[in-house]
Amino acid sequence: MALETNVKLYWLGHSAFKIIAPNDSVLLIDPFLSQNPKTPDSEKNQDKVDYILLTHGHEDHVGDTLDIAKNTGCKVVSIVELSGLLKKQGLAEEQAVEFNKGGKLEFDGFSVSMTNANHSSSFGGEYAGDPAGLVISFTDDITIYHAGDTNIMPVFSIYKDLYAPDVAILPIGDYYTMGHSEAALSATMLRPKIAIPCHYGTFPVLVGDPEKFKKETEEKTDGNTQVIIPEAGKSIF
């Protein structure tokens, strides 16, 4: 299934993704990189970043945020409580961008909306606000939904109508999030053109199977949703 877009998307392992916008802005989602066994060595250090977008505070999602922000001067976008904790750990005030669920931020060439996710969130042993999903919509281009860490939620059917995501990034690993079958059913509720699995295989307990996710999703959607199983460090589109 061809997706016409000027957006470039890369998986960096686990739940980390790099997006290059049509205006060449670089966005990182959940940049758990330097300590991530699935991140290629060539991607562990990021020296050109404009925005970091965080779904929640767990260390396998916040990852290298503070170091990257210090080295690049990028904006760091997250829920209010997590933003406050990051500032306590040294994130510069002018780099921190806080908002909350239902909120929408407008940036140069794209917007970010914060959605619900059903999980937990802490950072440095402290409550880091609710976990979230993120909808990134590029002006006159595609919309990408990163569900964050979650299980299946009835609200996915509403997000299908409200955000109409072209691409849905869904955790499939099981144990800490939904597994591949629950994620496949989630994809049928969201009905994206493309679904991409993440949060699997990084650690032994994350046993979700991307091939089974692909088979179940494409069967349940009668082939109207294409599943792309990503390769870390390689372009997805």
What pLDDT shows up at residue 160?
A: 98
- Name residue 96's beta-bridge partners: 76
Residue 26: what pLDDT?
98
Task: Using alpha carbons only, give the angle 7, 44, 193 rounded to the nearest 5 degrees.
Answer: 30
Q: What is the pLDDT of residue 228?
A: 98
Structure tokens at 68: 């990257």
The model scores a pTM over 0.85: yes
Written as one letter, the residue type at 5 is T
**pLDDT the model gives residue 1:** 59
The helix-helix angle for 180-190 and 210-220 (nearest 10°) equals 30
73's enclosing H/E stretch is none
Which domains, and CATH codes, for the chain? 8-227 (3.60.15.10)
* Residue type at position 87: K
The answer for residues whose C-beta is within 8 angstroms of residue 168's C-beta and 6 or more apart is: 145, 147, 186, 187, 190, 192, 194, 195, 196
Kind and range of the H or E element at 215? helix 210-220
Closest CA to 58 of 112, 16, 1: 16
In angstroms, the Cα distances linking 18 to 43, 46, 50 are 10, 10, 11
pLDDT score, position 10: 98
Coil/strand/helix, residue 188? helix
Q: How far apart are CA 231 and CA 233, in angstroms?
A: 6
Q: Outline where 40-155 has alpha helix (H).
A: 59-62, 65-72, 80-88
pLDDT along the chain (237 residues), means of 10: 90 98 98 98 97 98 98 98 98 98 98 98 98 98 98 98 98 98 98 98 98 98 97 96
